[in-house]
Amino acid sequence: MRFGLTNYPEFWANLAGMERLSALALEFLRDRRGATALEYGFIAFFVSIAAIATIRQIGPLLNAKYASILPGLQ
């Protein structure tokens, strides 16, 4: 009797469950299929941030340009 827990069947059931859980966790960590999707997600995120920053910088310039052209069109 090691720690006094080995006499209980619940201990062995939980141990088997933990072994299955650790095997699933290792399989999940070794699986590389989701890494590509995650990388594409990061790329899309950074491209959208760059697009938003560019539009925010160009927006006021375009507004001023259209405001100067508008009187000539009326």
Domain count, the chain: 1
Phi/psi region, residue 4 (left: phi>0; alpha: psi -120 to 50; beta: rest), is left
Residue 23 forms part of a structural domain: no
Residue 43 forms part of a structural domain: yes
Residue 17 forms part of a structural domain: no
Residue 42 forms part of a structural domain: yes
Residue 15 forms part of a structural domain: no
Residue 49 forms part of a structural domain: yes
> What pLDDT does residue 52 have?
94
Reported as half-sphere exposure (CB side, CA atoms, 13 A), residue 20 has a value of 6
Tokens 């539009």 belong to: 55
Q: Which residue intervals of the chain are DSSP H helices?
A: 9-30, 33-73
pTM, entire model: 0.46
Q: Look at the chain and count its residues.
A: 74
Domain that residue 64 falls in: 32-73
Which residues, including other chains, have CB under 8 Å from residue 5's CB and lie 6 or more apart?
11
pLDDT in tens, the chain (74 residues): 455 555 555 655 666 667 787 888 888 778 777 777 888 999 999 999 999 999 999 988 888 898 899 888 87
